[in-house]
Amino acid sequence: MHVPKGRPVHENLSTSYVNLAALLAELQVNEFTGYVSVNFWNYEGFVFLDGGQLINASEQTETHHKRGREAIDSIVSRAQARGGAVSFFQHPQAVIRALAGIIDGEIIYRELASEFTNLERLIEKLKKNKESIWYIEVALEREMGAGVIYITDGVAEAVASIRETPESIELRTTAGAEGIAVLLAQVSSFGGVFNVYRAVLAVPQAITPSHATLHAMSAGVGALSPVSPPALVASTGTVHSLTGNFADDPVEAGVVEAIEEEPAPSLHTDTPGSPVSLTAEQYSELVNLMGEVIAAVEQGATEVVREGEFRIGLREAFLQAAEHYPFLDPFAGEFEYNAGEIIFLGSARPADFVVGLSQALHSTIADLARRMPESEVRSRVETALTALQRRRHSDFEKFGLEIALEEILGR
């Protein structure tokens, strides 16, 4: 997980003398908004707090990833070992809610490369869908830093921690509208990779740790090691920069909003139990429509490349995408495409079905364009897909496939 560095309160405190449970209890009492990080070799844990409430956590090791309550309990337990470092940083409320939201967010696009995806256009596209809250996780190439873009009600802001030059050691953090400008400039200069998420909840809910962790926190209040955190005073106002006076947005206590219960139908809102989950008949319609999408890509591509080259490239792309979307594995026997028709015997979620195919088609086009730069394959495919979208406009709108076309074409 890429967590942009906030304003440091304390950094690199040894786990040998920091009682993490006590620290979390102190931060709750002081209504702290920010995050605590715990680091060991090949281990990182983050606990996010909003006005003193524990709203999410993430623990990552070489072998597993935990989140939520399970992660909080595990991080508190791990921090009792020697040889680790504990740090905690302040961030504006909007930033912390975005970072916490990513953990539980629904992944829409994974590892989009700036070489093929225009970040500014992607932001503008997501801003138009005001019914959802969007997060874009940005990892810059050459270890130049990272950032998170959060889009709410059509307004995009970001937090970015970047190195100003490849030789720089220190990270500079900016937030708000300035954060967007910084990320766009760094991506343009150095390149980057993006993950796109849709929020599951408009406001992250408070998490209650296990009884054992609560007991440790209760017993540890005021029992911090030699280094105690300074008093943290809550204030009001909106922060758009991490320089100068630092303040959080006002918190409305006890308000936890779920995303609107009846949004416009979209394939990306098909979480279990969602009111817009697809019926078997609707799923069949979606599968048939995606067959037409592949056929349109094939039609455009084979105007300038041999049919055999396209099919080989498509099979290779399916195999690569199968790492994240197993139904595309040719040995699984769940998916087959031939002559404009898809035979699908798997059980992938509709969102995964479309995103997996979209990324595979994107890879196919990119590979063909790379090997045959004079072929105009990309423009031919775009023409064919645009024609299909016009013919099937209502169906594309019904299933929310406009963003899928953006992914396929790398726009």
220 and 82, same domain (yes or no): yes
Nearest by Cα to 55 from 200, 206, 202: 206
**Do 276 and 393 fall into the same domain?**
yes
CA distances in angstroms from 231 to 9, 24, 31, 73, 247, listed in the order given: 10, 14, 10, 25, 14
Question: Which residue shows structure tokens 């605590």?
Answer: 36
pLDDT bracket for residue 32 (50, 70, 90): very high
Kindly state whether residues 220 and 72 are assigned to the same domain. yes
pLDDT greater than 80 at residue 35: yes
Q: Is the separation of the CB atoms in 28 and 49 below 8 Å?
A: yes
pLDDT at 158: 92
pLDDT at residue 322 tops 80: yes
Q: Each residue of 51-73: pLDDT tens digit?
A: 999 999 999 987 788 999 999 99
Q: What does the pLDDT average to over 161-171?
A: 84
In this prediction, residue 225 carries a pLDDT of 38
- Give the bridge partners for 3, in sequence order: none
Q: Output the average pLDDT for the chain.
A: 80
DSSP 143: G
Condensed to tens digits (0 to 9), the pLDDT of residues 334-388 reads 888 888 889 998 888 887 888 889 889 998 998 888 888 777 888 899 999 999 9
Give residue 236's pLDDT.
29
**Same domain? 343 vs 297:** yes
> What pLDDT, on a 0 to 100 scale, did the predictor assign at position 152?
92
Q: Is residue 273 domain-shared with residue 390, that is, in the same domain?
A: yes
What pairs with residue 40 in β-bridges?
43
Across 43-52, 371-380, 399-408, the highest mean pLDDT is recorded for: 43-52
Question: Distance between CA atoms of 284 and 288, rounded to whole angstroms?
Answer: 6
CB 1 within 8 A of CB 46: yes
- pLDDT at 270 exceeding the cut of 70: no
CA distances from 72 to 27, 98, 105, 308 (A): 14, 18, 18, 52
Average confidence (pLDDT) over 13-17: 84
Q: Please report how the helices 211-220 and 20-29 are oriented relative to each other, as an axis angle in degrees rounded to 10.
A: 80
Has residue 166 been placed in a domain?
yes
Confidence of residue 181 (pLDDT cuts 50, 70, 90): very high
Residues 185 and 148 in one domain: yes
Burial class, 63, CB count within 10 angstroms (exposed 0-12 / middle 13-18 / buried 19+): exposed
* Torsion over CA: 283, 352, 150, 277 (sign): positive
Residues 390 and 274 in one domain: yes
Q: What is the number of domains present in the chain?
A: 3
Judge whether 366 lies within some domain. Answer: yes
pLDDT of 241 strictly over 70: no
On whether residue 101 sits in a domain, the answer given is: no
The full DSSP string for 231-254 is P-----S--S-SSSS-------TT
The predicted pLDDT at position 164 comes to 83
Strand stretches in 339-406, DSSP E: 341-344
Over pLDDT 70: what percentage of the chain? 85
Is residue 247 within 8 Å of 239, Cβ to Cβ? yes
The reply to whether 293 and 396 lie within a common domain is: yes
Is residue 99 assigned to a domain?
no
| 49 and 133 assigned to the same domain | no
Q: Is residue 333 part of a domain?
A: yes
User: Do residues 207 and 24 make contact, with C-beta atoms less than 8 angstroms apart?
Assistant: no
Q: Where are the alpha helices (DSSP H) in 30-127?
A: 68-78, 93-104, 119-127
Give the burial string for 1-23 (b: 16+ CB within 10 Å, else e): bbbbbbeebbeebebeebbbbbb
Q: What is the mean pLDDT of residues 242-263?
A: 30
- Report residue 56 as tokens: 């999410």
Same-domain status, 341 and 280 = yes
Which residue range forms the structural domain that includes residue 248? 1-92+204-226+236-260
- Quote the pLDDT of residue 27: 92
Amino acid (1-letter code) at residue 408: I
Residue 251 within a domain: yes
Cβ-based neighbours of 338, under 8 Å, separated by 6 or more: none
Q: What percent of the chain has pLDDT over 90?
A: 35
Asked whether residue 34 carries a pLDDT value surpassing 80, the answer given is yes
pLDDT at residue number 264? 33
Q: Residues 129, 164: one domain?
A: yes
- Is residue 34 in a domain? yes
Residue 88's pLDDT is: 92
What does DSSP assign to residue 114? T
pLDDT at 277: 56
Q: In what order do the strands lie in the sheet with 134-140?
A: 106-113, 192-198, 134-140, 145-152, 155-162, 172-176
Per-residue pLDDT tens digits for 210-228: 888 888 787 654 433 333 3
Residues 7 and 31 in one domain: yes
Report yes or no on 356 lying in a domain: yes
Question: What are residue 262's phi and psi, to 5 degrees?
Answer: -125, 70
